[in-house]
Amino acid sequence: MAPKTERKQIAEREWIDASGAAVTDKMAATGVKYTLLSTGSSIVRQYKDAPEHERIAMYCFGCHTAIGNEVNSHKDWPDPVEAARERMDYLRETGEWREPTGRGGIRYNREALANAMHEVFGKPVEYFAERMEWRVQRATGHQVLEGKSVVDGKDVADKDTVLYGTRALDHPDVAAAYDRLVPKAQVAVPTAESF
């Protein structure tokens, strides 16, 4: 696996309630706040204040973004659109927000990753497979539900959480085992003459 480049946070993106307070439960949000850290300049948008044409445009943009992110995170699936369909249907049917099962830049096969973790840590594959949908604290690995640690009940900011599988790939032995199980396609390096 290629070394990860450190990405510097340039903005704070918050889901907010009607009073403007940040919320961790996306389903409790009524708007958003975006703050550029270098200047402190921010923009706030509340759903209730938006005219219908803005709501439609932002809904369509948001759907395309969510679908595209999910498809890009599941390029190893036979039909990556199925992952997006599952996520969108889940929201429509349950009224619950489910985080994407991948992240930008990293796509992983959950079954292969569970097998890699079994290989490294020795616990049953099922133990790891059932945790692949979890959001966890990056630092501790503790599961996070509705913005709270399941271990101590304390609030956990979204920026401090990752998917269980994403955190697992941060472990060099797991990453190496995963790479053995899911070899990367070899891409020919273009020659200078080809340009």
Average the pLDDT over 137-155 and give the result. 86
Average the pLDDT over 57-64 and give the result. 93
What are the φ/ψ torsions at residue 58 (nearest 5 degrees)? -70, -35
Render pLDDT for 61-93 as a digit per residue (tens, 0 to 9).
999 998 988 888 777 677 888 888 888 888 888
Q: How many residues are there in the chain?
A: 195
Q: Where are the domains of the chain?
A: 10-47, 50-107, 108-183
Render pLDDT for 108-130 as a digit per residue (tens, 0 to 9).
788 899 999 999 999 999 999 99
- Give the span between the Cα atoms of 19 and 29, in whole angstroms: 10
With beta carbons less than 8 A apart as the criterion, state whether 177 and 120 touch.
Answer: yes
Top-ranked range on mean pLDDT: pick from 36-45, 65-74, 90-99: 36-45
